[in-house]
Structures are given as C-alpha cells and as structure tokens.
C-alpha cells in the first residue's frame, strides 16, 4: 500500500484532484464559517427550583475559509489563547468555548474557575468517552500505514509483561545508567565532537580551543541513542552499523510527521515531500529491525555452541541478568515469531520469512518501536532547555555544580572505582551516575521547573460520545451584581454539551496551569526550589532567613494531579517513562556542566612529556542571549532563535 502511494501517484492527476477538492471545500467553509458562532441555548428547572442552562460551546473562528483561526493560533499560541480565554470568561461569561483550527474543533475551558474539577474529568474519563489513543493514532498517520493502537501485534500477556518491565526499570537503574554512562562517554569525546557539523570550533589563546553549539541540535543524537538502546534494543546504540542507520532514518521519519498534512485526507498527504520521505524511511526502519533480529539469532547460535563448555550455574546467572534489562524488541519479536510459527507447521520461521510473509504484523511491531523511540525524543528539548536555563541563572549554575561536587566527594570517599575518575569525567563512571540519578534532588528540580516553564499549550482528547460538563454558577444577566449574602436562587447552573465527531477534541492547557500565580507564585521566573522538599530547601537557607512560598499546595482540586503540574500527564495515561526522562535530562546537563566546568586535565606543554597537568580554562557559558520561547511547536517549546553555548577544552599535542 505504501509503495503504491510512493511510486504510483500521477502528479498531474493528483494536482487536478486536490485543486478541485480545495475549491469545493473553500465554498463550503466560506458559507459555514463565521467570526463567532453563538452557542445554542436551552433551559430547564431542576428539582431545587434553579434554572439549568443547556448550551453548546461558542465556536471561535475567522472569515478565512477552511483555516478558521489557525493562523492566529500558530502566530502566537499563548497570546491568542490568553485573549480568547479572557473574552469568553470575563466578557461573554462562558465556561467553555471551541476553537476552529483548520478542520479540527478544539473545546477548552475559559478559566480554571469555570470548571474547577476539569483535570479530574480530563484525565480520568474513560477511553470510550474521550480518547487518548485516537489522538495518538491521528498524529502518526502521515508516515505509518495503520493505526498503531488498533493493530494488535502481541497479546495481553505480553502487554502485561511489558508494563511490568517498564515499572521494574525505575527502582533498578543499573542497566539503564550503564547505557547513559556509555553514551555520554562516547558522545562527549573530543574526537567525536570534532566531527559534528553543527559545532563551530575556534582556537583560543593559551593553547585552548573552544566550540559553540545549539543544544537543541546537539542533544538530538545523544538522546536518540540513549532511548533506543536502553529501551528498544541495545544494538541500536552499541553496534556502529545499526547506530548509523538509525541516525539517518529517524530524522526523516520525524520530519514526516508534517503538521499541515495531518489536517488533510490521507490521499492528499502523500503530496508532501516530507511525508513521502518519512514513509520510505519507515520501511527502511523495518529492514533495520529485521537485520538486528537476524544478528541476534546468529549470536544466540554461537552462544549455544559456547554454552556446552560452560557450567550450568554461570549460564543460569547470565540468563537471569539478561531478563532484567528492558528489551521491548525481545518481548514483541518473541510473540510475533510464536504466532508466525503456527502457519509453518510448528517449524521456527526465519526473520526473512516473517518479514516477507507476515509483513503487516512485522510493520505493526516496528511502528510500536518507532513510537517508543519518538516519545523519548522529547527529552532532547527538556535537556537543552534545562542547560540553557541553568546557565542563564548564575545562582542555579552554582547550586547545580555544588550538588555534583557533593555527590562526587561522598562517593569517591567510599568507592575505589570512582577514584579512577576525576570530577569532570565523573559521569563516565557507572557507579557515580547510579548514585547521582538517585540523589541529585536539585538537578531533578531544575528539570521539572524547565518542564513547568516550557511545556506546550494544549493536550488533546478526541470526543467519542455525547458528553455534558457542568460549568460554574453564573449570575442572571438581569442581576449582574450580587453580594455574598444574597440567596443563591439568583444563580444559574450551566451545562455544556460537548460536540463530538471525527474532528472534535477536548483540550487541557498545561501552560495555563503551570503559569497560574495562584498555583506557582511568580510563574514566569525560573525557580527550581518549587519542586524541592521543604527540608531540602530549608537546608540551603541561611540562619534567620524566611522561607518563601514558591508553590501553592492547598487547592483541593489539584491534589490528585501533582498540584497543577501536567508535564507528564496524569491519571490513567500518566507517562510511565517520566522518571527515566528526568534522570536522563539531569545526567546530560550534569555531564556538560562538570566536563566543561572549568579546570581540566590536559597534556603538558613540553613536547617530550606525556605527563598530565592541571590547566585552568573558563567554564561553559551562554554565547548568545536566551530568547523568549516559541510555543507553536509540538510538545515542549524551543527558543524563538537558536541559543548557543560556548565550551572550552584544553589544547593537546595533536592540535594544529
């Protein structure tokens, strides 16, 4: 099906069809679209004698056919939403409203006071009523040949095992931090950095060299390899051939998730070059997974021959350790092969046979692997923004480094393994990374504060059934001003009937919860202490200093949902990888700060000497100002202009 779309499309025919279709859609939407569609209102009296209003949310659109208010939203999402929410809550006194963005209708609350328990409704309502998975499928439809969720490649038993392993990796981090340490050491090797095209190298005075980079770009490869090799398949990060193929394919698949194409029918999506390249890259990704599985079979055959010469106890110990590692590919491929074995009269089919004869099931398995890798790729932005924010606030930089030094001193005094690594290279040591992952509370608070400040404006659920939401009690227009002592019979209950359909969504705005001054005082300031325990924050205070309140935790409706913190979702669909993502970000940032933080061990300036000496070099710093965030991108925001970081390294005898 995909090959047909890629190779069999006649361009002239397709252009003719799309032009005619656009003309028809333009006429239809021009006739239907208005600036503000008034909500339909009816009323009835409940058993207490109060008037109950039944309404549909007003639709906010524009006079531009088809696009609705999409252009206004994309130009500045936050300013646009702030303006519309204010108009609807204070001027029109509406609790809910619906935005028309291209062919999508997105309903959201006008204020947190309008529906105080909205997070509970949003996160805990059943999948049959408002669906997370349908939004999930819609997002990936441009490059995947089917819905990821609906294509069942594995049974409930395997799904249960997969979820258990995801939970297991959180308390048992040994395998995970080993991969982090390995990838950090490989990536931040000066020789490896010198090969990066997006790094600008400069020779400084006093035998120093410096380089500038945009962390939003530089961290992409590092995060991709950590996620792919730690969760999906270790070979994606450790075997050069597989690693390089993944690095070539993933950006194409990522670019294939074209935002504009999502609003068009699937027949028109193939007209976008990025979508075509993304679909082809996905097919190449399935070939990559097949080759990894073939290599595993060859390795297992060699191990079977080798095990004949080994003791049984050693073999059993090795098997037990391998089962502890989270290997999604192993879980999915084991069941796929078992299902395929039924059609081969009990004989174990090769992966080439499965790849050719059961291509749909194999592609479905690969789609799930890609989605897992993609979900982890958001760590790139959170890591980059954490580094930029810490460097942008000197006191945060100092506290971050002090915590690294404290943990290093504590570990090196009791561990002989850590002594072999100095402080700058401490993150190349597995034991240090393990302790740092568990103990670095300030670093974790910096990551969470970054997510609070820069998480995007909308999280969506597709409305699957007719639903009704109760809004706040609003006063009758005949009596706009009432006192606290007046009878509440002058108040009116308002119920909103949510529109439903293929293009109707319900939205929650993490941004507006994260920047509500009632929940987070001084919300536009970067204050990591908001997420620290009171005892930890108190330990950093000077004697006699009054502790400030950086976070309000007394709002009853917020208690079940992280006190207004929505970066990792909540309820039934809370992110299972939240802990892993946080550990990954704080380790990447910590490695950068310690490795390029100042004094460095380098070669002696004497030509005949190989002795290492201490050289004093400047610490890393921001090379360009940190711009305001751009929230028009998916997920976590990014600076409106690239922000560069400057790092210094010691000169070596091989410098030229």
pLDDT in tens, 273-332: 888 899 999 999 999 999 999 999 988 888 777 666 665 444 333 333 434 566 888 888
Query: Which stretch, 72-81, 386-395, 544-553, has highest mean pLDDT?
Result: 386-395
Higher-pLDDT residue of 39 and 75 is: 75
Q: What is the pLDDT of residue 508?
A: 93
**How is residue 457 annotated by DSSP?**
S
**How is residue 624 annotated by DSSP?**
S
Q: What is the pLDDT of residue 27?
A: 58
pLDDT one-digit tens code per residue, 246-274: 999 999 998 888 666 666 667 777 788 88
Nearest residue to 184 (alpha-carbon basis) of 374, 430, 375, 431: 430
Q: What is the pLDDT of residue 161?
A: 56
Give the span between the Cα atoms of 107 and 96, in whole angstroms. 7
Backbone φ and ψ of 355, nearest 5°: -60, -35
Q: What is the pLDDT of residue 29?
A: 52
Higher-pLDDT residue of 318 and 89 is: 89
Higher-pLDDT residue of 373 and 479 is: 373
Q: What is the pLDDT of residue 157?
A: 53
Is residue 645 within 8 Å of residue 212, measured between CB atoms?
yes
pLDDT one-digit tens code per residue, 335-364: 888 887 766 566 788 999 999 988 888 998
Higher-pLDDT residue of 652 and 258 is: 258
pLDDT one-digit tens code per residue, 408-455: 999 888 776 666 678 888 899 888 999 999 999 999 999 999 999 999
Nearest residue to 499 (alpha-carbon basis) of 544, 538, 463: 463
Query: Which stretch, 119-128, 132-141, 494-503, has highest mean pLDDT?
Result: 119-128
Residues 6+ apart with CB under 8 A from 73: 80, 81, 99, 101, 632
Share the mean pLDDT of the chain.
Answer: 77
Residues 6+ apart with CB under 8 A from 226: 179, 180, 183, 237, 376, 379, 584
Nearest residue to 593 (alpha-carbon basis) of 399, 411, 382: 399
Averaged pLDDT, 103-123: 87
Q: What is the pLDDT of residue 550?
A: 63
Terminal Cα-to-Cα distance of the chain (whole angstroms): 54
Residues 6+ apart with CB under 8 A from 420: 429
What's the Rg (C-alpha) of the chain?
Answer: 28
What is residue 401's three-state secondary structure?
helix
Residue 135, token pair as written in the block: 């939004």
Burial label for 7, CB within 10 Å (0-12, 13-18, 19+), is exposed
Q: What is the pLDDT of residue 154?
A: 45
Higher-pLDDT residue of 64 and 218 is: 218
Averaged pLDDT, 617-639: 89
Q: What is the pLDDT of residue 68?
A: 84
Q: What is the pLDDT of residue 413?
A: 81
Q: What is the pLDDT of residue 600?
A: 43
CA distances from 652 to 78, 201, 387, 465, 592 (A): 49, 14, 27, 67, 20
Residue 249, token pair as written in the block: 């394919």
517 has a pLDDT exceeding 70 = yes
Q: What is the pLDDT of residue 617?
A: 77
- Residue-range domain boundaries for the chain: 33-137+456-514, 170-234+378-452+577-656
Q: What is the pLDDT of residue 148?
A: 64
- Enumerate the H helices of 256-324 as residue ranges: 259-262, 266-269, 273-307, 312-324
**DSSP per residue over 124-170, as a string?**
HS-TTTEEHHHHHHHHHTTTSSS-TTTS--S-HHHHHHHHHHHHHTT
Q: What is the pLDDT of residue 49?
A: 58
Q: What is the pLDDT of residue 447?
A: 96
Q: What is the pLDDT of residue 176?
A: 80
Q: What is the pLDDT of residue 265?
A: 66
Residues 6+ apart with CB under 8 A from 492: 50, 51, 52, 53, 473, 474, 475, 476
pLDDT one-digit tens code per residue, 156-214: 555 555 555 555 544 456 678 888 999 999 999 888 888 888 888 887 666 678 899 99
Higher-pLDDT residue of 37 and 333 is: 333
Residue 269, token pair as written in the block: 């999506």
pLDDT one-digit tens code per residue, 496-516: 888 777 789 999 999 999 999
Nearest residue to 469 (alpha-carbon basis) of 132, 114, 127, 128: 114
Q: What percent of the chain has pLDDT over 90?
A: 31
Query: Which stretch, 196-200, 566-570, 584-588, has highest mean pLDDT?
Result: 584-588
């Amino acid at each position: 099906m995909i090959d047909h779309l890629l190779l069999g499309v006649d361009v002239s025919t397709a252009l003719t069809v799309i032009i005619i279709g656009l003309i028809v859609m333009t006429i239809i939407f021009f006739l239907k679209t208005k600036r503000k569609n008034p909500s339909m209102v009816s009323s009835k009296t409940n058993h207490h004698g109060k008037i109950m209003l039944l309404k549909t949310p007003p639709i906010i659109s524009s006079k531009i056919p088809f696009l609705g208010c999409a252009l206004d939203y994309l130009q500045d999402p936050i300013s646009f939403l702030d303006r519309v929410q204010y108009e609807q809550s204070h001027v029109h006194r509406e609790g809910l409203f619906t935005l028309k963005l291209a062919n999508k209708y997105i309903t959201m609350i006008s204020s947190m006071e309008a529906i105080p328990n909205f997070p509970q409704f949003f996160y805990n309502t059943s999948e049959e009523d408002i669906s997370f998975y349908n939004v999930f499928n819609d997002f990936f439809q441009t490059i995947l040949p089917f819905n990821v969720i609906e294509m069942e490649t594995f049974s409930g038993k395997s799904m249960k095992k997969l979820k258990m392993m995801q939970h297991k990796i959180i308390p048992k981090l040994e395998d995970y931090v080993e991969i982090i340490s390995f990838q950090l050491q490989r990536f931040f090797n000066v020789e490896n950095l010198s090969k990066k095209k997006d790094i600008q190298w400069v020779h400084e005075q006093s035998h120093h060299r410096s380089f500038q980079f945009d962390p939003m770009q530089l961290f992409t490869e590092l995060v991709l390899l950590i996620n792919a090799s730690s969760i999906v398949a270790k070979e994606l990060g450790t075997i050069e051939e597989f690693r390089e193929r993944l690095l070539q394919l993933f950006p194409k698949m990522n670019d294939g998730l074209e935002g504009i194409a999502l609003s068009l029918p699937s027949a028109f999506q193939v007209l976008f070059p990025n979508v075509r390249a993304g679909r082809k890259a996905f097919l190449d990704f399935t070939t990559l997974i097949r080759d990894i599985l073939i290599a595993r079979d060859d390795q297992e055959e060699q191990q079977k021959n080798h095990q004949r010469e080994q003791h049984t106890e050693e073999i059993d110990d090795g098997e037990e350790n391998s089962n502890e590692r989270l290997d999604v590919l192993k879980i999915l491929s084991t069941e796929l092969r078992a299902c395929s074995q039924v059609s081969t009269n009990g004989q174990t089919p090769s992966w080439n046979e499965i790849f050719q004869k059961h291509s749909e099931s194999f592609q479905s398995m690969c789609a799930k692997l890609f989605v897992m890798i993609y979900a982890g790729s958001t760590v790139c932005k959170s890591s980059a923004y954490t580094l930029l924010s810490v460097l942008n606030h000197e006191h945060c930089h100092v506290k971050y480094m002090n915590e690294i030094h404290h943990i290093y001193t504590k570990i090196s005094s009791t561990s002989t393994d850590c002594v072999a690594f100095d402080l700058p290279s401490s993150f190349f040591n597995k034991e240090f990374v393990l302790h740092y992952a568990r103990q670095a509370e300030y670093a974790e608070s910096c990551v969470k504060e970054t997510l609070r400040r820069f998480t995007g404006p909308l999280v969506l659920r597709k409305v699957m059934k007719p639903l009704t939401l109760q809004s706040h009690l609003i006063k009758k227009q005949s009596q706009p001003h009432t006192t606290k002592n007046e009878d509440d019979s002058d108040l009116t209950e308002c119920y909103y009937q949510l529109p439903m359909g293929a293009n109707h969504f319900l939205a929650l705005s993490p941004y507006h919860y994260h920047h509500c001054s009632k929940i987070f005082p001084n919300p536009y300031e970067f204050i990591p202490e908001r997420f620290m325990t009171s005892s930890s924050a108190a330990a950093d205070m000077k004697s006699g200093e009054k502790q400030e309140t950086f976070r309000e935790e007394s709002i009853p409706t917020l208690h079940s949902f992280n006190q207004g913190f929505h970066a990792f979702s909540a309820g039934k669909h809370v992110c299972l990888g939240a802990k892993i993502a946080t550990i990954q970000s704080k380790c990447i940032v910590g490695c950068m700060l310690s490795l390029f933080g100042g004094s460095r061990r380098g070669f002696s300036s004497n030509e005949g000497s190989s002795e290492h000496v201490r050289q004093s070099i400047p610490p890393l710093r921001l090379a360009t100002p940190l711009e305001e965030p751009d929230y028009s991108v998916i997920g976590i925001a990014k600076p409106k202009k690239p922000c560069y970081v400057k790092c210094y390294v010691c000169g070596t005898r091989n410098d030229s």
